[in-house]
Structure 1
Amino acid sequence: MSSTEEGAPPVRDPGLQPERTRMAWRRTTLACAVAVVLAWRQVLLTQPTGTEVVLVALLVLAGLAFLTAAHSRMHTLAAPPSAGPPRTMNARTALLATACTLVLVGLGTAIVL
């Protein structure tokens, strides 16, 4: 951080880090959406049982929850540089993203097998 005047608040020079982080969240969200669509397709191409339909519904809900967490984080990172450094991810968002990722892996595996 640097300051142009004595006593003035420091001006944030974030470089490209916030943009790279937003892009990483977008890529992860896209990968999550692809996993949901492929699982849905897998179930629709076979004779779906009630269990598979429930698994896909849970998969879609987990995907939407992950999208919500990712959108929240991307919105936080989109703050203008004059607003100071972006807030760190709160524990609730981190826990939600982690739980959604684990649920997506588990349900996706269950559907494929």
Structure 2
Amino acid sequence: MGSPPPGATRDPGLQPERTRLAWRRTTLTYTVVAVLAGRQVIRGDVTVAGVVAAALSVLVWLAFLWVAHGRMVALDTAEPRALPVGAGVAAVVCVVCLAAFGVGVL
């Protein structure tokens, strides 16, 4: 396929909606993991390091919500802009931190 002719408008179709739904699913999954970490702490089956890891996972969850919300808002426009590099790096760091803190809670 060649590139579109100059001056042609881009028709994104349903791709932005699918991407927005993927961000929502990821956010929901992240929320469930954070709630389960909190539940583990409340039940008392965790050490002090686990409590710290659960608290840090909540902070990282809030950071991920901020990044995801910004991306979902950006996808609501007629011509969504590309994901900024900083936001992509922040999302990846949040997910990696969640995995590390999950190990700390266990």
TM-score normalised according to structure 1 size: 0.82
Alpha-carbon distance in structure 1 between the residues aligned to 2:52 and 2:18: 36
Distance 1:57 1:21 in 2: 29
**Counterpart Cα distance in 2 of 1:91 and 1:13:** 24
- Identity over aligned pairs, percent: 47
In 2, the alpha carbon distance for the partners of 1:25 and 1:15 equals 17
2:104 paired residue number: 110
Work out the CA distance in 2 between the residues paired with 1:48 and 1:100.
Answer: 22
Structure 2 unaligned spans of 5+: none
Aligned length: 104
* Structure 2 equivalent of residue 66 of structure 1: 64
CA RMSD of aligned residues (A): 2.2
**How does 1:1-113 map onto structure 2 within 5 Å?**
10-46=8-44, 48-80=46-78, 84=79, 86-112=80-106
User: Offset at 1:55?
Assistant: 1.1
Q: Post-superposition, which runs of at least 4 consecutive aligned residues in structure 1 deviate over 4 A?
A: none
In 1, the alpha carbon distance for the partners of 2:104 and 2:42 equals 15
Amino acid in the other structure paired with 1:42: Q
Higher-Rg structure is 1
Structure 1 alignment gaps of length 5 or more: 3-8
